[in-house]
Structure 1
Amino acid sequence: MTQVSALERLRLTPERFAFQGIRGQIRDLVTENIALLAVRAREIGDVIPLWYGEGDMTTPAFIRDAAKEALDEGLTFYVPNMRGLDRLTTALADYQTRIHGRPVPAERTTVTPGGMQALFLAVQLVADPGSNVVYVGPQWPNIHSVIHLSAAEPRPVALGFDTDWRLDLDRLFDACDARTRAIFLSTPSNPTGWTASREEMQALLDFSRKTGIWIISDEVYGRLYFDGDVAPSILQLAEDGDRVMSVNSFSKAWAMTGWRIGWLTHPSSVAPQLGAMTQYINSGTPAVLQAAAARAITDGEPLVHEIRTLIKTGLDMTYERLSSIPGIILPEKPKGGMYAFFAFEGEDDSRNACRRILEEARVGLAPGYLFGDASRAFLRMCVCRDSGDIARALDRMVGALA
């Protein structure tokens, strides 16, 4: 904690004095968002908001009913096993074993209040103060801040871009040193849609086995993959003893963003530590939510396919219409995720383009600087919405920009 003299304290307002006494990692923390654009959107009205990473589908009735049944069942008490309700951890074990084609027992799973909490636990588990975590960018901004909160150094390595986003494994591995505790990647990626191949996953696993560096793979969009039923996963290759963790969530593929429930898949050997961390951070995830999630994972395959089809339809529409705009840079169509990520020739910072599209087309898009310097010129558009809304947004954008 920062020490101040009595004289220095007199020079500070009470509020400023309190502020100076908090940890440095917290003191410079800010919420990365689109606040200014959102304020303007409220002023002009009739804006189609495609800047958030969230679909517009209400959680289906069969999941909501499971939560109601759990309330009637009396599941309103603590869950004794901090790593999850038995019915959910068992369902997750069956589900992951099925989709990945190899055993993933319940001992390897910890349920969390959202995928964000799973990510936080993973980084806290391995990153010491003064260490570093190398991550693949452009990247969802939360990973940078979670590493920073752990008093470790966030070390980005950007995907290369020509007509598409590509990973240079040599550059990624060269960024690691004796202080590197983990490599983090999102696949399929938010925001680019880049998806690691099975061969790239194997190379990451081989590097981890050689160096002892952990691989943390954010696979929240793994079921929203268009070249198969599930994207290539580190869990399809790793053994229980490997230094590998996979972050996942019910938010995207099961339309449960507001429920705040996810899970972390990890070596069984670290399960006791993750249970203890859960106890001291949040004392577990509510049983009612876990019961709903168990129903989602066991009965939700038709829903996953419906959401995937919705996104693919929106993405196809977006590419077809945006390609008519002069000077637009459209990467190869993503293999997964829920975003179109594009740029305009001559625009180094997409904030101006976002403002113009908001004012002239009344469509809200996210500026690429939020995801790192490598994507400053790009704009992110969420296509996980009703096709009518996507069509109206595209009509407006083409009319304003073509």
Structure 2
Amino acid sequence: MTAPSSRISDRIGSIAESATLAVDAKAKALKAAGEDVIGFGAGEPDFPTPDYIVQAAREAALNPRFHRYSPAAGLPELRAAVAEKTTRDSGYRIQGKALESGNVLITNGGKQAVYNTFATLLNPGDEVILPAPFWTTYPEAIKLAGGVPVEVFAGPEQGYKVTLEQLEQTLTPASKVLVFVSPSNPTGAVYSAEEVREIGRWAAEKGLWVVTDEIYEHLTYDEAEFTSIASLEELADQVVILNGVAKTYAMTGWRVGWMVGPSDIIKAAANLQSHATSNVANVSQMAALAAVQGPLDAVVEMKTAFDRRRRAIVTGLNAIPGFSCPTPEGAFYAYVDVRGALGREVAGRTPQTSAELAEVILEEAKVAVVPGEAFGPSGFLRLSYALGDEDLATGMSRLKDLLGG
């Protein structure tokens, strides 16, 4: 009998490691080894979860009701609250009616919502139009579901936002889904209301599903405003909204996300989840309920800090020779074009790609950044400014000492 060529299946072996988590893990490992590393890698607010949310979790932990299995699709009260919140913030309705809890699935963080959605929508060979730069998990989830990610790159010269012309050129008979993210991870780009409407109408006209990630909906700056593509009536029956409490309420570790969409899609995704993980931890769900039903005071406080750090990091990055960073209008990331810095000697080395440059920066300056290869083409770096002001200033000072400026 011939031994198998690999102990790992081709399907799982082909998955790329999450680059953002890999960078964060490497930075933490260096810190544990005694190195003074500044981490710009992970997209994680440096604020604690608000007290009233933590208190709701404490109370839930003491309630025997939450010591047992609960519905795989989520606690009924949380599903109802998410439906109400989505109607309020996204303007999403089904066939002219208010959203109902049957249109909501509570998931183990936003990533499970992403995977559930693509697994439910895609057949082998279906193409997914994926504007780049993109969050690193999207293409892997698409491929795991049998789909084919088709990248559409929008560079800094167009504000990291794709155009209708680009989307039209990408369309083929196999196109089934358009991924739409605003505000964007990794670029911080925010589409205007008119741009959102134009793209939404185009997708509806072409018969495409739209998967819209709205996790950063409350993090916009200056004159930029969040507009949900799901608010277009033409898309009501062919859109799935991905969201969660992680970014808005500093709850990344609580692992509560959700997907919202037509009831048949949600029912099928809930069936998948019933076999994969069953219900999200009940204590986390009750914490999420307190968050969704509570005030947005926490995000207002965070936005003030993020805005201050946003301005500081953009100023610092643009002072480095060969770096060019547009001012992000949303989320908490700066996406800097470093193509002008490649091919130059740095600490006795000559990085030719952003991945090589990121490696030099980590080893020589003890600053962790994520290379553009994780999000699309080489030549860029993503830096999260969701870290303390002192750490940000120290990190920028080290970059300038290493690279000039």
Calculate the TM-score normalised by the size of structure 1. 0.88
Unaligned runs of 5+ in 1: 1-5
Identity %: 29
| Structure 1 partner of 2:360 | 356
Return the alpha-carbon distance in structure 1 between the equivalents of residues 78 and 196 of structure 2: 27
- Which of residues 238, 260, 263 is equivalent to 1:265? 260
Q: Are 2:13 and 1:27 equivalent residues in the alignment?
A: yes
How big is the shift at 1:40? 5.9
Return the alpha-carbon distance in structure 2 between the equivalents of residues 131 and 98 of structure 1: 33
How big is the shift at 1:120? 0.8
Conserved in 1, the CA contact under 8 Å of 2:188 and 2:330? yes
- Secondary structure in 2 aligned to 1:207? helix
| Structure 2 partner of 1:72 | 62
Q: Are 2:33 and 1:47 equivalent residues in the alignment?
A: no
- Which of residues 156, 168, 174 is equivalent to 1:173? 168
Unaligned runs of 5+ in 2: 93-97, 343-351
Calculate the TM-score normalised by the size of structure 2. 0.88
Task: Name the CA shift for 1:274/1:30 in 2 (closer, same or farther; >3 Å).
Answer: closer
| Structure 2 partner of 1:85 | 75
Task: Name the CA shift for 1:302/1:181 in 2 (closer, same or farther; >3 Å).
Answer: same
Return the alpha-carbon distance in structure 1 between the equivalents of residues 135 and 6 of structure 2: 33
Q: Are 2:335 and 1:341 equivalent residues in the alignment?
A: yes
Corresponding pairs, count = 384
Conserved in 2, the CA contact under 8 Å of 1:41 and 1:358? no
Paired AA for residue 50 in structure 1: F
| Structure 2 partner of 1:193 | 188
Q: Are 2:369 and 1:365 equivalent residues in the alignment?
A: yes
Task: Name the CA shift for 1:45/1:238 in 2 (closer, same or farther; >3 Å).
Answer: farther
| Cα displacement string for residues 93-116 of structure 1 (whole angstroms, at most 9, x for unaligned residues) | 222222235643333221111100
Conserved in 2, the CA contact under 8 Å of 1:209 and 1:242? no
Task: Name the CA shift for 1:264/1:238 in 2 (closer, same or farther; >3 Å).
Answer: farther
- Secondary structure in 2 aligned to 1:275? helix
Paired AA for residue 83 in structure 2: A
- Secondary structure in 1 aligned to 2:330? coil
Return the alpha-carbon distance in structure 1 between the equivalents of residues 34 and 364 of structure 2: 10
| Structure 1 partner of 2:348 | none
How big is the shift at 1:243? 0.2
Task: Name the CA shift for 1:171/1:229 in 2 (closer, same or farther; >3 Å).
Answer: closer
> Cα RMSD over matched residues?
2.3
Return the alpha-carbon distance in structure 2 between the equivalents of residues 336 and 41 of structure 1: 29
| Structure 2 partner of 1:234 | 229
How big is the shift at 1:44? 6.9
| Structure 2 partner of 1:399 | 401
Conserved in 2, the CA contact under 8 Å of 1:368 and 1:377? yes
| Structure 2 partner of 1:278 | 273
Return the alpha-carbon distance in structure 2 between the equivalents of residues 93 and 205 of structure 1: 21
How big is the shift at 1:84? 1.7
| Cα displacement string for residues 145-179 of structure 1 (whole angstroms, at most 9, x for unaligned residues) | 01110122111111133273231222213212221
How big is the shift at 1:263? 0.8
| Cα displacement string for residues 290-334 of structure 1 (whole angstroms, at most 9, x for unaligned residues) | 110010112241011122222111101112233322332122x11
Q: Are 2:378 and 1:384 equivalent residues in the alignment?
A: no
How big is the shift at 1:241? 4.0
How big is the shift at 1:186? 2.0
